[in-house]
Amino acid sequence: MKITKIELYKVPPRWLFLKMITDKGIIGWGEPVIEGRAETVKSAVLEMSDYLIGKDPLKIEDHWQKLYRGGFYRGGPILMSAISGIDQALWDIKGKYYDAPIYEFLGGKARNKIKVYSWIGGDRPENVAEEAEKKLKQGFQAIKMNASEEMHYIDDYDKVENVIKRVEAVRKKTNKNFGIAVDFHGRVHRAMAKVLFKKLADYNLMFIEEPILSENLESLNQLTSYGIPIALGERLFSRWDFKDVISNGNVDILQPDLSHAGGISEVKKIATMAEAYDIAIAPHCPLGPVSLAAAIQVDTCTPNVFIQEQSLGIHYNKGNDLLDYINNKKIFKYNDGYLEIPQKSGLGISINEEKVKQMASQGHDWKNPIWRNKDGTIAEW
């Protein structure tokens, strides 16, 4: 079997799909994208395709090593996202070729179902109490919300109080066991993070995500004493990025993204590294159906995964949503906050190619907003 062609489709709201075609008629799908840099990742995939055309798609590890080590300069969000989508498509082909789900090649099932959480509140969090109550009634057992809007290095105490009020309102509308994850989104600098951790310590949070930017990891040891689990990893892109985070002992939950951190092959390795240090995994996935399907395959065979992010109804999905591009829409049906393990071969999803091509003709040019503080300085989004 040989790879004959790679096609790319940039589809709204902000995704990039990869279709890998073989001479045996087996097709694999991937989702190689960095949000806001889809065109750049697309170019990287096209460059890498020269390595792949005419090759056997079943030699996944060899292809991964070639794509990673074959370039003198390596790593980072663009190159690793390109590899991620290619890796997903290769695994999809392998599963379809042998008529088995991908997790069967990675050790088989380690669980019977996967807990998921839902986003509420939007970019500038509002109406979170009502939205959390709605998610609880829908059967979800956990949500994630942004903590705040922009926040300066040292900022007004009103902003701190607003964060606390939102979290308190969500807790009152749900129950003591309902999972509340608060995403600082890298918007909060070290000094304000310490203030917020102290104030949030009484609310039994599931975790705080990206309490500081990943490039400022030396500050994490100032946040661990408050007893709130710390999660991060969406802006780390390989096992080499994660190894220092894992070994320093200050992070409780890693969040590698299946479309950013080297795909199925690499995230499984990152999770295994983390297990040796007693660290949990909660894969990052505010993206499309291919990325989520890839995450679910890893979740199924990885015992230290405890919950999965999913993007159905997320505030980014304006106009198009998770289910729009797949035929078997029940594959992502959530029951009591859990997702059943998929049984179909490969990634387990059936892509609606007609819809993909239709929406690719429309395309997108999604970029994240540029925020400024009151004094005019650029703020972290």
How is the chain split into domains, by residue range?
A: 3-101, 104-347
pLDDT at res. 230: 98
284 included as an active-site residue: yes
Which among 330, 261, 239 is positioned nearest to 82, based on CA atoms?
261
Kind plus residue range of the DSSP H or E element containing 297: helix 289-300
Give strand pairing partners of 305: 281
Is 191:182 a contact under the CB 8 Å cutoff? no
With vertex at residue 27, the alpha carbon angle to CA 23 and CA 31, rounded to the nearest 5 degrees, is 135
Is 80:329 a contact under the CB 8 Å cutoff? no
Cβ burial of 310 (10 Å; 0-12, 13-18, 19+) is buried
pLDDT at res. 318: 86
pLDDT at res. 205: 98
315 included as an active-site residue: no
Kind plus residue range of the DSSP H or E element containing 332: none
Distance CA 226, CA 194 (A): 9
**Chain centroid to CA 193:** 23
**Chain centroid to CA 172:** 28
pLDDT at res. 319: 87
Inter-CA distances, 80 with 34, 69, 159, 313, 380, Å: 10, 12, 36, 27, 23
- DSSP state for residue 233 in the 8-state scheme: -
Q: 15-22 and 27-30: which strand pairing?
A: antiparallel
- Report the percent of the chain where pLDDT is more than 70: 100
> Hey, what are 118's tokens?
């839902």
Distance CA 88, CA 117 (A): 23
Per CATH, the homologous superfamily of domain 104-347 is: Enolase-like C-terminal domain (3.20.20.120)
Topology (CATH level 3) of domain 3-101: Enolase-like; domain 1 (3.30.390)
Q: Is the pTM of this model over 0.95?
A: yes
Identified catalytic residue from 63, 152, 260, 284? 284
Residues 6+ away with beta carbon under 8 Å from 207 = 181, 182, 228, 229, 230, 231, 252, 253, 282
Side-chain-side CA neighbours of 14 within 13 Å: the count stands at 17
The residues of the chain scoring below 50 in pLDDT are: none
Direct distance between the N- and C-terminal alpha carbons of the chain, in angstroms, rounded to an integer: 45
Distance CA 290, CA 332 (A): 11
pLDDT at res. 134: 95
Q: Do domains 3-101 and 104-347 have the same CATH topology?
A: no
pLDDT at res. 58: 98
Identified catalytic residue from 185, 189, 260, 364? 185
pLDDT at res. 237: 98
